[in-house]
């Protein structure tokens, strides 16, 4: 069965600090996809990144970077030089390979609430 | 307009009421989802519609009844709910795997904050 664990429930940092949000996943499939979403106070989940299981290259997008390591089943997310606007709940999610229906909904972790203090 | 729109944003209903949540997507996707987000729980998948047919029902009580009249609209009909059903209900859409051959990301609406009194 698939499972996503975000062990950090809440994190508080001071503005301009770097912060890493941890994500550990479980799956029996060799083909799967990993995602990160941001949920600001307004409620909607904002897509940040998708990574497939065959691509272990780390990715950087501005102040955001992601470290995918299959050996430890982890897909960690780092925000560099954090800003107050980064305050939100961040969700890691997993989608396994195609089912008979052709659809593989996301399974989410419990989320990490990040508070960036000015 | 945003990609996925949910109405109403907030809803308070009594346990004997009947109400409906609405979701509309303007992204041309052919799969739509209902998720429930309760305090201190992971996002729980409730229903999946792919090509307007229900393909997954995650053991959701019958007091929740989904409807997908076309690929752009998804409803969640509510009746005789319980206080523990109070939560944020999120709608999402994506492009179905069988069409694209890959897992695309899901796009979410802002949710309906439901309170059952």
Q: What is the pLDDT of residues A2-33, one digit of tens each?
A: 899 999 999 999 999 999 999 999 998 888 88
The pLDDT value recorded for residue B41 is 78
Buried/exposed A46-70: b ≥16 CB within 10 Å, e otherwise: ebbbbbebeeeeeeeeeebbbbbee
Instruction: State whether residue A102 sits within 8 Å of chain B by CB.
Output: yes
Instruction: State whether residue B60 sits within 8 Å of chain A by CB.
Output: no
The pLDDT value recorded for residue B95 is 81
Shortest distance between the Cα of A10 and any Cα of chain B, in A, equals 11
Q: Are A97 and A29 in contact (CB under 8 A)?
A: yes
Shortest distance between the Cα of B116 and any Cα of chain A, in A, equals 19
Q: Is the pLDDT of residue A40 over 70?
A: yes
Q: Which of A45, A47, A103 sits opposite B55 (nearest CB)?
A: A103
Q: Which of B45, B88, B105 sits opposite A47 (nearest CB)?
A: B105
Residue-wise pLDDT for A60-113, tens only, equals 889 999 999 999 999 999 999 999 999 999 999 998 765 545 556 788 999 999
pLDDT along chain B (117 residues), means of 10: 88 93 93 88 86 76 93 95 94 72 77 95
Rounded to whole angstroms, how far apart are CA atoms B28 and B84? 34
Q: Are B46 and B60 in contact (CB under 8 A)?
A: yes
Q: Is the pLDDT of residue A58 over 90?
A: no
Q: Which residues contact A100 (CB under 8 A, 6 or more apart)?
A: none
N-terminal to C-terminal alpha carbon distance within chain B: 32
């Amino acid at each position: 069965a698939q499972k996503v664990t975000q062990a950090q429930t809440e994190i508080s940092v001071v503005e301009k600090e770097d912060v890493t949000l941890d994500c550990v996943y479980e799956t029996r499939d060799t083909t799967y996809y990993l995602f990160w979403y941001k949920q600001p106070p307004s409620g909607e989940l904002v897509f940040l990144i998708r990574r497939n299981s065959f691509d272990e290259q780390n990715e950087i997008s501005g102040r955001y970077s992601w470290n995918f390591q299959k050996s430890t089943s982890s897909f960690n997310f780092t925000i560099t030089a954090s800003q107050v606007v980064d305050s939100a709940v961040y969700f890691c999610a997993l989608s396994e390979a195609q089912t008979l229906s052709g659809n593989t909904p996301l399974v989410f972790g419990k989320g990490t609430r990040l508070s960036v203090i000015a | 307009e945003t990609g996925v729109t949910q109405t109403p944003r907030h809803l308070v209903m009594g346990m004997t009421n009947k109400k409906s949540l609405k979701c509309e997507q303007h992204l041309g996707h052919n799969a739509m989802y209902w998720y429930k987000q309760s305090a201190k729980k992971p996002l729980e998948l409730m229903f999946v519609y792919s090509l307007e047919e229900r393909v997954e029902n995650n053991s959701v009580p019958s007091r929740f009844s989904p409807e997908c009249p076309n690929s752009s609209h998804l409803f969640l009909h509510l009746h005789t709910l319980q206080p523990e059903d109070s939560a944020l209900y999120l709608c999402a859409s994506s492009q179905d795997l069988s069409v694209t051959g890959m897992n695309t990301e899901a796009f979410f609406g802002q949710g309906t904050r439901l309170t059952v009194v």
